Chains A and B, each alone.
Chain A
Amino acid sequence: MNDMTIVIRSLRVRLLTSSMTVAMVAIAVALLLVIMSMREAASQAFRRGTGNVHLLVCADASPLVGVLNGMFYANAPANPIAWTKAEEIRASFPWQWAIPTQLGDSFQGSPVMATRSSFLSQFEPVVGQPFTFAAGRAFTSDFEVVAGSQAAKEHGLSAGDEIVFTHGSGASRAGGHEHADHPYSVVGILNPTGSAHDRALFTSLESSWIIHAEERREAQSTEPEGEEPHEHHEGEHDHAHVDVDDLTDADKLITGILLRLPTRPGSDASASIASQFDRLRRDTAITVAQPAQQIGRLMSIVGDVDWLFLAMGVVVLVSSAISIMLAMIASMELRRRQVAVLRVLGASAWRVFALTVTESTLIGLVGSFLGATIALGGCELASAILADRIGIMVAGTIDLRSMAMVTLGAVLLSSLAGITPAIKSYRTSVARHLRPIA
């Protein structure tokens, strides 16, 4: 028998109220931890995806939209860039590398990037961490495809599978049509990179150009002049065969160019980025973005909303502390009788004060522990939702500093919440509360 036994019994006598207050603290702690974790993880995840790209050229309405579309697969870019423009940009400066990309097709909701195989060898989704293969190899010829780790996992793909792409992005898959005439062979599966590229599939530009050129030519040959092209349905195609050699500049459309300037060995920075950025910006036909800078801008835009969420979490935590206080005050009549008995049996006023504060602290401790446990599960869930909905790969973990800060804060608030009931306990008139209840 010790003082903790008294506290635990007191909580057990008011089991429903105690459970409810513990649940409130747990929810508040979990909410705050998930918000803090996601806030940091989302920021890191955005910074991961841009990798070693210095500049992104696209035809989107704004640099930020271009980065979100071109590097995070938010949507298929609406405006193409002509191949001649791409060649012009490529030849305008001795880039370390210039990789054209085209987005627009998808496989069961996962975005398909048509690009050069150099994307898989020279582009690093995280600086210093190039793509590596879990199975197979990079695409070397037309109609071969490499799947990102999450895409492969989600669709159960493995090397040797044959798949068919859908025209349109994941969001529009319901209305898109399949490129059924041209199945792709899966030749490689990538290891996870922790970036949005994990949920994409990669194939050659020529494959994509051929498919779209064939469809465009079929449409042109079947539609009467002056009428809008009608929607294609399965089995309705007139099969026009197109080879790489048949492709014209009009067929060779891309949606972005990833550019990297020469750097010194061991360095990711280049002194020419600003001047090349300014030079390319003068061309009004294209949009130029510095991906890292745009992500920084995005973080500052969402930062205010971020703080609002954080503030809401703190408010919920304070509310839970107030609920502890109210619950303890509400049970004061029963508690006063208990206090009076304890006093008669030899407990000092300070001892019953300490017992009451210990009770509220224990609620905070148990609530914090449960909240932290719930938060770990919540982070996993939130990271899965973020990956699924907007393609941001975030680690579902909570750093120890945040966890210590929030749980200690919750315990401290719970202790403070116990002070008012403890003062009431301290001041309880023993003689009055020992009398029989009328």
Chain B
Amino acid sequence: MIVAAIDISSTSLGVSLSGVRFAYRRGFALFVPSLEVQPGEQILLAGASGSGKSTLLHLIAGIEDPSHGEIRIAGTNFLALRGAKRDTFRGRHIGMIFQTFNLLQGFSALENVMLALMLGGFDSSDQRSRAESTLTRLGIEDSHAPVENLSVGQQQRVAVARAVAGNPCVVLADEPTASLDPANARKAIELIKDAARTAGAALIVTSHDPSLIGAFDRVLDIGPLIATERAR
């Protein structure tokens, strides 16, 4: 199922994009007329490498600014927030999972998760219990081990735990299976989907792996959304 765009309601508590345009330096532009992801919905952003999937995730996460358009997360006009307010909002409402996990070296699994909760504005009394319960739920037994000592599979679980521990509104996963073989890719996707579902979060996953298409509620092919600047 390929969906180019879905009309949205501005009062939605999930994620909504409207008229979002991002210009690349090399003359191309990404244009998303409309996209809505409902709470709990799980969608796949499909497309070839370099097609703009990661850019769209970065726009949703507020780490890249579009030149036009509006992005709402949990009903809040996210782009209207500036500086630290936007960062704190991101920490509280958006969880991110990366292809290479981007866990902080020198920190234990527990500390990686607690750090995300701290930066998301959770009380210090709440951080440990939330982090421990999430790690346990995701099958991390030795949460005090430095992350560099964990297996790749365990590191991925910690990365997922870090993204969902704060019950975010949306979880963004950028090519989480790109470096995995098909069997492990399937397991990883199921892990992420389960964790997002448990957290009650919308899930947006990018991947160029066509075998994942059937695993999501919806699939958005990003190819038609990108064109030369002149064409837009």
Q: Which residues of A approach B to under 8 Å, CB–CB?
A: 1-2, 5-6, 9-10, 12-13, 337-338, 340-351, 430-431, 434-437
Against A, the Cβ 8 Å flags (1 = close, 0 = not) of B95-123 are 01011101011110001001111111100
Q: Say yes or no for B231: interface residue by CB 8 A criterion.
A: no
B120 surroundings in chain A (CB, below 8 A): 345-346
- Inter-chain contact A9/B104, CB cutoff 8 Å: yes
Determine how close the nearest CB of chain A comes to the CB of B85; give it in whole angstroms.
9
Given contacts A346-B120, A347-B119, contact A1 B87 (CB under 8 A): no
15 A-B pairs within 8 Å (CB atoms) are namely A2-B124, A5-B111, A9-B107, A338-B104, A340-B102, A344-B63, A345-B120, A346-B88, A346-B90, A347-B91, A349-B87, A430-B58, A431-B55, A434-B174, A435-B54
- Inter-chain contact B115/A1, CB cutoff 8 Å: yes
**What CA separation (Å) do A343 and B115 show in the bound complex?**
12
Determine how close the nearest CB of chain B comes to the CB of A281; give it in whole angstroms.
74
B102 surroundings in chain A (CB, below 8 A): 337, 340-341, 344, 434
- Inter-chain contact B115/A13, CB cutoff 8 Å: no
Which of B87, B92, B179 has a CB less than 8 Å from the CB of A343? B87
Identity of the chain B residue whose Cβ is nearest the Cβ of A346 in the assembled complex: B91
- Inter-chain contact A1/B63, CB cutoff 8 Å: no
* Dominant SS among interface residues on chain A: helix
Identity of the chain B residue whose Cβ is nearest the Cβ of A435 in the assembled complex: B54
**What CA separation (Å) do A345 and B96 show in the bound complex?**
8
B63 surroundings in chain A (CB, below 8 A): 343-344, 430-431, 434
**What CA separation (Å) do A436 and B54 show in the bound complex?**
11
**What CA separation (Å) do A143 and B118 show in the bound complex?**
82
- Inter-chain contact A13/B116, CB cutoff 8 Å: no
A347 surroundings in chain B (CB, below 8 A): 87, 91, 119
Determine how close the nearest CB of chain A comes to the CB of B114; give it in whole angstroms.
4
Given contacts A9-B104, A436-B100, contact A345 B83 (CB under 8 A): no
Which of B88, B99, B119, B124 has a CB less than 8 Å from the CB of A436? B99
* Number of residues from B at the complex interface, CB < 8 A: 37
Q: Say yes or no for B206: interface residue by CB 8 A criterion.
A: no
Q: Say yes or no for B61: interface residue by CB 8 A criterion.
A: yes
**What CA separation (Å) do A312 and B104 show in the bound complex?**
40
Q: Say yes or no for B177: interface residue by CB 8 A criterion.
A: no
Identity of the chain A residue whose Cβ is nearest the Cβ of B88 in the assembled complex: A346
Q: Which residues of B approach A to under 8 Å, CB–CB?
A: 54-55, 58, 61, 63-64, 83-84, 87-88, 90-92, 96, 98-100, 102, 104-107, 111, 114-121, 124, 127, 162, 174, 178-179
Determine how close the nearest CB of chain B comes to the CB of A12; give it in whole angstroms.
5
B84 surroundings in chain A (CB, below 8 A): 348-351
**What CA separation (Å) do A345 and B122 show in the bound complex?**
12
Given contacts A1-B114, A1-B124, A431-B64, contact A346 B106 (CB under 8 A): no
A437 surroundings in chain B (CB, below 8 A): 100
B92 surroundings in chain A (CB, below 8 A): 346
In order of increasing CB-CB distance, the 4 nearest A-B pairs are A346-B91, A346-B119, A348-B84, A13-B106
Identity of the chain A residue whose Cβ is nearest the Cβ of B54 in the assembled complex: A435
B115 surroundings in chain A (CB, below 8 A): 1, 5-6, 345
- Inter-chain contact A10/B100, CB cutoff 8 Å: no
B96 surroundings in chain A (CB, below 8 A): 344
**What CA separation (Å) do A412 and B64 show in the bound complex?**
35
B118 surroundings in chain A (CB, below 8 A): 1-2
**What CA separation (Å) do A431 and B61 show in the bound complex?**
10
A350 surroundings in chain B (CB, below 8 A): 83-84
Determine how close the nearest CB of chain A comes to the CB of B124; give it in whole angstroms.
7
A1 surroundings in chain B (CB, below 8 A): 111, 114-115, 117-118, 124, 127
Identity of the chain A residue whose Cβ is nearest the Cβ of B103 in the assembled complex: A341
**What CA separation (Å) do A10 and B115 show in the bound complex?**
13
A346 surroundings in chain B (CB, below 8 A): 87-88, 90-92, 116, 119-121
Determine how close the nearest CB of chain A comes to the CB of B204; give it in whole angstroms.
15
- Inter-chain contact A344/B105, CB cutoff 8 Å: no
Identity of the chain A residue whose Cβ is nearest the Cβ of B83 in the assembled complex: A348
A13 surroundings in chain B (CB, below 8 A): 105-106
Identity of the chain A residue whose Cβ is nearest the Cβ of B124 in the assembled complex: A1
Identity of the chain A residue whose Cβ is nearest the Cβ of B166 in the assembled complex: A346
Which of B91, B111, B116, B124 has a CB less than 8 Å from the CB of A9? B111
Determine how close the nearest CB of chain A comes to the CB of B80; give it in whole angstroms.
16
- Inter-chain contact B116/A345, CB cutoff 8 Å: yes
B162 surroundings in chain A (CB, below 8 A): 345
Determine how close the nearest CB of chain A comes to the CB of B31; give it in whole angstroms.
18
B114 surroundings in chain A (CB, below 8 A): 1
13 new A-B pairs (CB below 8 Å) besides A1-B127, A341-B102, A434-B174?
A10-B106, A340-B102, A341-B104, A344-B61, A344-B90, A345-B119, A346-B90, A349-B83, A350-B84, A351-B87, A431-B58, A434-B102, A436-B98
Determine how close the nearest CB of chain B comes to the CB of A13; give it in whole angstroms.
4
B174 surroundings in chain A (CB, below 8 A): 434
B179 surroundings in chain A (CB, below 8 A): 436
**What CA separation (Å) do A240 and B96 show in the bound complex?**
104
Determine how close the nearest CB of chain A comes to the CB of B132; give it in whole angstroms.
12
Identity of the chain A residue whose Cβ is nearest the Cβ of B87 in the assembled complex: A348
**What CA separation (Å) do A253 and B72 show in the bound complex?**
104
Determine how close the nearest CB of chain B comes to the CB of A335; give it in whole angstroms.
11
